[in-house]
Structure 1
Amino acid sequence: MRAFSEYFLIAAASLIGCAKGTKITSDSELGPQNFVLPTANIILKCTGGSGLIWKYEDGSLPEGAKIQAPSTQDQSSVLELILSPIRHNGGAYSCIDNAKNKDTINLNVVSAKSLYADPVVGNGTVDTTLRCHQRFSPLFPLIWTFPNGSEIIPGNYSKGDNRVSVNAPEKGSALHLRVASRRDIELGNYECRLNTSGSTLPAEIIAQLNEIKTSVNYEAKPDVKFEGSQQKSKSATKGEPFVLKCIVEGHNDTVKFVKMNEETKENTTLLEGPVSSLQLCEGSNDEYCIPGSTYKVSQQEVRANDTGKLHSVTISMHITETKDEDRGEYICIAKNSAGEHRASTTLRVKDKLAALWPFLGIVGEVVLLCLIIFCYEKRRNKAADDEDENEPMKAEVHETRETNVQRRGK
Structure 2
Amino acid sequence: MKNLVLCITLNFIFFINIVYSVEVVPHQPQVHVQEKSKFNLTCNVSNIGNQQVRVEWSKDSKKVSDISGLKNRAVPTNSTEQYVLSVDKSTGSDSGNYSCIIYQGTEEKARANFTVVVTEALAVRVPSDVNVVEEERLRIECEVKGDPVLYWKYKNESYSVSGSNVILENYTHEGKVIRNGVFIIEKISDNDKGEVTCIGEDIATGQSVQDTCRVRVKGKYAALWPFLGICAEVIVLCAIIVIYEKKRNKTELEESDTDQSPDQKNTPDHGKEANLRHRQ
Q: TM-score, normalised by structure 1?
A: 0.41
User: 1:343 is aligned with what amino acid?
Assistant: D
- The higher relative CO (CA closer than 8 Å, separation ≥ 6) is in 2
Counterpart-to-counterpart distance in 2, 1:350 and 1:334: 29
Q: Are the equivalent residues in 1 in contact too, given 2:122–2:148 (CA < 8 A)?
A: no
- Which of these residues, 151, 170, 174, is aligned with residue 299 of structure 1? 170
1:142–1:193 Cα contact (<8 Å) kept? yes
2:219 to 351, 355, 371: 351
Native 8 Å contact 2:97 2:113 kept in 1: yes
Q: Are residue 203 (structure 1) and residue 71 (structure 2) matched?
A: no
Following superposition of structure 1 onto structure 2, how do residues 54-65 of structure 1 map, counting pairs within 5 Å? none
Tell me the distance in 1 between the aligned counterparts of 2:130 and 2:64: 49
Q: Give the match's secondary structure for 2:222.
A: helix
CA apart distance, 1:352: 3.9
Shift of 1:295: 3.8
Is 1:143 equivalent to 2:58 in the alignment? yes
Q: Deviations over 1:200-249 (max 9, x none)?
A: x8324xx23x52556667577754333xxxx1111112222332333566
- Report deviation, 1:112: 5.4
For 1:203, the aligned partner's letter is T
For residue 328 of structure 1, what is the amino acid of its counterpart? G
Give the corresponding residue for 2:125.
225
Corresponding pairs, count: 226
Distance, in Å, in 1 between the alignment partners of 2:212 and 2:188 is: 19
Structure 2 contact 133–220 (Cα < 8 Å) conserved: yes
- Measured in 2, the distance between the counterparts of 1:214 and 1:221 equals 21
Identity of aligned residues (%): 20
2:153 is the counterpart of 1:258: yes
Contact 1:237 1:351 in 2 (8 A): yes
1:114, distance to aligned residue in structure 2 (A): 12
User: Larger Cα Rg: Structure 1 or Structure 2?
Assistant: 2
- Shift in alpha-carbon separation, 1:115–1:202, aligned structure 2, 3 A: farther
Distance of 2:192 and 2:27 partners within structure 1: 57
| Residues 287-344 of structure 1: per-residue CA shift (max 9 Å, x gap) | xx56x7664432366999xxxxx97324433333222112111122233351222221
Residues 247 and 314 of structure 1 are in contact (CA less than 8 Å); yes or no, is this contact kept in structure 2? no
SS at the partner of 2:259?
Answer: helix
Query: Match of 2:70?
Result: 166
Q: Judging changes above 3 Å, is the alpha-carbon distance between structure 1 residues 219 and 170 closer, same or farther for their aligned structure 2 residues?
A: closer
Whichever structure has more helix as a proportion of its residues is 2
In structure 2, C-alpha distance between the alignment counterparts of 1:244 and 1:133, rounded to whole Å: 44
Question: Unpaired runs of 5+ in structure 2?
Answer: 1-18, 44-53, 78-84, 266-280
Q: 3-state SS of the aligned residue for 2:236?
A: helix
8 Å contact kept, 1:245–1:314: no
